[in-house]
Amino acid sequence: MKAQELRQKYSEFFKSKGHAIISSSSLIPENDPTVLFTTAGMHPLVPYLMGEKHPLGKRLADVQKCIRTTDIDEVGDATHHTFFEMLGNWSLGDYFKKEAIEWSWEFLTSPEWLGLDKNRLAVSVFAGDEDAPFDEEAFDIWKGLGISEKRIARLPKKSNWWGPAGETGPCGPDTEMFYWVGSPSEIPAEFNDDNSLWVEIWNDVFMQFNKREDGQYELLAQKNVDTGMGLERTLAVLNGLDDNYKTELFINLIHKIERLSNKKYGESSEITRAMRIIADHLKAATFIMGGDKGVTPSNTDQGYVVRRLIRRAIRYGKQMGIEEESWTKEVAKIVVHDYAYVYPELPKNVNFVIERLKEEEAKFKKTLEHGLKEFNELENKRQTTDDRINGKTAFDLYQTYGFPLEMTVELAKEKGLRVDVEEFNKELEKHQELSRTASAGMFKGGLADASEESKKLHTAAHLMLAALRKVLGDHVVQKGSNITAERLRFDFSHPEKMTKEQIEKVEKIVNEAISEDLLVACDEMSLEEAKKINAMGVFESKYGERVKVYTIGEGPKIASREICGGPHVERTGELGKFKILKEESSSAGVRRIKAILE
């Protein structure tokens, strides 16, 4: 089966069960500071899981692009990826466990749909703890479908609970489906989740809780279903492959890396792992940079993740003996080529991606040269006869020059020295502890809690975009936004620094709209109607055909009109005084504003 056939079958099946198909959201979340990336299909739907009305109804299905960095240490095996696509179906306070499980089973096993062998399937359900009881209902439904009890594992929260995507938000117990990828003659009668030949392919989450900031779980107003089926894994299984990298979604990348390195995939387990990491990381970096938000490698936020992915790929490439200058872009071109028919933003942004990769590779080369020089200097100064480079030195090289530990170890080896890796790790941990505390502060609040303050800032962001277009011109469009309870951060296209006068004008226009206490109205309409009345569309048709349009003001006093999921305040008078704190460059052609309400 081809990937596109699987995507289409999934959509068709859930359409036949009354679901509306929505398109994939951006990998960079809108208006949600609790995470850097869209880590699962549920993410862009958080407001609707919390009770907002979705314009397309209560049953939705989609194919969502996702980035998950939490699995990075597992990337290199046959089934974990940084970038992946997730097939998902959603009940927003509509159907619950019975339908979700029965439909999953029907889609997986019916010969009309995927037709997988029932005997190679096993499932797990939530075992229960102090927050929620054993999921007996799910257990009984699976049993009723004919699955033997030995193939229904009861697992704790660590395995069978999903969410929230950030620190707070919707979550709940889940039930997972596994497929045996080992030899058919060796299928165990009993399911054991420690055996990696049982591959998880689908997860049905029963989202009925909201995790609050104080760590408590409260019941949500509505019971939701969030399911996620891994496209790469399911495709491998359907094609009888025990390795996702052998599917059409990766094989061209692997072939390219084989040609670049003059090595063969499968030649040794190290080479297999390195090739998988390179393919995975460069695919993820291409998707992050190739989205419409124009993420550039940097030292903060999403840019930092991209930088790490690219540099890690380069390092593995070096290890495998890839000598060519600027080779990462060659791999990226294949990603763009292979996915262009599903994700048109990639060919649109291909030049941007290629340029960033060229720059980053050159920068990293310099870093390495610099680090090498430092290393040699340190080495010359070393007076002792000790054959050990202490961990602190290795950490300084890493911290100050970005010189990877692996490189230090390698160079040390050449000189007959060894590096105190344990001490290095201790230093690293100390450092991570610090940055974790810092980011925990940054992730506080956010629209996931739909807090009053962030709602106000969200409405202010609409007024500000309209004001920016008035002052700077119609070329200004939103490139991204991130709102906490304390401030709003807003990226928009504009080629140069704003002048002080321009900033003051924007503030004045927004504050006038606030003092007029304008009504904020929400209407549902088709995307075409929304375009006709000149609503600003943030990102294409991501909500599908029917959209919500928020209009601020009435008649001749319309201050802003945007397609948006909400939520917003009811009248602008609630906002207080709007103030721009900072205007700075975000990336090429994109400016960033930080603003508050006083």
Chain residues in the site for ligand SER (CB under 6 A): 40-42, 88, 162, 203, 205, 226-228
Give the residue carrying structure tokens 């940079």.
Answer: 289
- Cβ proximity of 378 and 400 under 8 Å: no
DSSP string covering 463-479? HHHHHHHHHH-TT--EE
Shortest spacing between CB 207 and ligand SER, in angstroms: 8
Shortest spacing between CB 279 and ligand SER, in angstroms: 22
Residue type, 556: P
CA angle 344, 345, 348 (to 5 degrees): 95
- Cβ proximity of 546 and 55 under 8 Å: yes
Pairwise CA distance, residues 570 & 561, whole Å: 14
Shortest spacing between CB 88 and ligand SER, in angstroms: 5
- Cβ proximity of 338 and 249 under 8 Å: yes
Token pair of 118 as six digits: 């029932």
Shortest spacing between CB 163 and ligand SER, in angstroms: 6
- Cβ proximity of 327 and 317 under 8 Å: yes
- Cβ proximity of 121 and 146 under 8 Å: no
- Cβ proximity of 572 and 551 under 8 Å: no
Measured from the CB atom, the residue of 29 and 41 that comes closer to ligand SER is 41
Backbone angles phi, psi at 445, to 5 degrees: 70, -155
Shortest spacing between CB 175 and ligand SER, in angstroms: 11
Residue nearest ligand SER by beta-carbon distance: 228
Measured from the CB atom, the residue of 33 and 164 that comes closer to ligand SER is 164
Shortest spacing between CB 86 and ligand SER, in angstroms: 6
Measured from the CB atom, the residue of 42 and 563 that comes closer to ligand SER is 42
Measured from the CB atom, the residue of 20 and 61 that comes closer to ligand SER is 61
Measured from the CB atom, the residue of 162 and 198 that comes closer to ligand SER is 162
Token pair of 305 as six digits: 């993740």
Measured from the CB atom, the residue of 95 and 578 that comes closer to ligand SER is 95
Shortest spacing between CB 42 and ligand SER, in angstroms: 4
Token pair of 501 as six digits: 């006068």
Give the residue carrying structure tokens 């904020």.
Answer: 520
Measured from the CB atom, the residue of 170 and 294 that comes closer to ligand SER is 170
355 Cβ contact partners less than 8 Å away, ≥ 6 residues apart? none
Shortest spacing between CB 595 and ligand SER, in angstroms: 32
402 Cβ contact partners less than 8 Å away, ≥ 6 residues apart? 311, 364, 367, 371
Pairwise CA distance, residues 97 & 83, whole Å: 28
Pairwise CA distance, residues 530 & 551, whole Å: 11
| Residue 480 DSSP class | E
Shortest spacing between CB 43 and ligand SER, in angstroms: 8
Shortest spacing between CB 30 and ligand SER, in angstroms: 18
Would you tell me how many other CB atoms lie within 10 Å of the CB of residue 175? 27
- Cβ proximity of 234 and 201 under 8 Å: yes
- Cβ proximity of 330 and 322 under 8 Å: no
Measured from the CB atom, the residue of 82 and 227 that comes closer to ligand SER is 227
Measured from the CB atom, the residue of 203 and 272 that comes closer to ligand SER is 203
Shortest spacing between CB 172 and ligand SER, in angstroms: 10
Measured from the CB atom, the residue of 41 and 166 that comes closer to ligand SER is 41
Measured from the CB atom, the residue of 89 and 349 that comes closer to ligand SER is 89
89 Cβ contact partners less than 8 Å away, ≥ 6 residues apart? 14, 17, 19, 59, 60, 61, 100, 103, 225, 227
Q: Helix, strand, or coil here: 172?
A: strand
- Cβ proximity of 501 and 598 under 8 Å: no
Measured from the CB atom, the residue of 88 and 297 that comes closer to ligand SER is 88
Shortest spacing between CB 20 and ligand SER, in angstroms: 17
Shortest spacing between CB 90 and ligand SER, in angstroms: 9
- Cβ proximity of 552 and 518 under 8 Å: yes
DSSP string covering 357-383? HHHHHHHHHHHHHHHHHHHHHHHHH--
Measured from the CB atom, the residue of 222 and 560 that comes closer to ligand SER is 222
